[in-house]
Amino acid sequence: MKNKFKKILRILWYLNFKTILFNFKYFKINEAIGFPVFVSSNTYLRRMKGDIHIQKNILEPGMIRIGYGDVGIFDKKRSRSIWEVSGNVIFNGEANIGHGSKIIVGKLGNLNFGERFTISAESSIICFCGVEFGNDCLLSWEVLVMDTDFHKIHSVETANQINIDKKIAIGDNCWIGCRSLILKGAILPNNTIVAANSLIGNSEIPQISMNSIVGGIPAKVLKENVFWKK
């Protein structure tokens, strides 16, 4: 009874129009009334199409939070998150998408979050093809993850498009430092640390192994046999 009362209080604390709209748009009534997703009033729900799946048998109130948090270098009251989704989004467990972050998924996009996924603040994920995060991943602030170039580039000789979208795959327990850029085709193995202001794209970094720090433009292996904790 005590735990049930705590859940009700938690829902009431976070309940607002956008949380209600979001849950009843994406979930069945018996799931929506439990409000598994809390949405900050500072979130711009620009497009709510496609589908959301939460791969858990038991849905807890606010197991997914969008637009909350407080990172000291930003004014969270003026920090606006954006949700613009036409494709598929999968949550495999708890997720915290911090204030000012932008989630954009095109019609053919498949965005997959592992368990205990976190964005601290002000980061963007653009998914037109496929972006997949393993469990326990952390994105710092002002990170951009993008699997598309948006504009099409064609060969003069053949007229074929030469810059097709490519899937991004990020393993378990990866930490991506602030202001890093993760481009299409990027592959990061488990337990990778990406140094601040790094560029990763096109393909897996040569000779990278698990438990490594990578960084630079373009990124290279800086140190091996390390681990990190949230």
User: Which residue type occupies 75?
Assistant: D
Q: Is the pTM of this model over 0.75?
A: yes
Task: State the pLDDT at residue 190.
Answer: 95
Q: Domain range holding 73? A: 40-224
| Confidence band, pLDDT 50/70/90 cuts, at residue 209 | confident
Give the domain CATH number at 209.
2.160.10.10
Describe the chain by its helix, strand, coil percentages, rounded to 5: 10, 35, 55
Does the residue 21 lie in any domain? Answer: no
For the stretch 45-104, pLDDT in tens is: 999 999 999 999 999 999 999 999 999 899 988 999 999 999 999 999 999 999 999 999
Does the residue 1 lie in any domain? Answer: no
Does the residue 109 lie in any domain? Answer: yes
Q: How many domains does the chain have?
A: 1
| Mean pLDDT (the chain, rounded) | 92
Backbone dihedral region of 164: left (phi > 0), alpha (psi from -120 to 50 degrees) or beta? beta
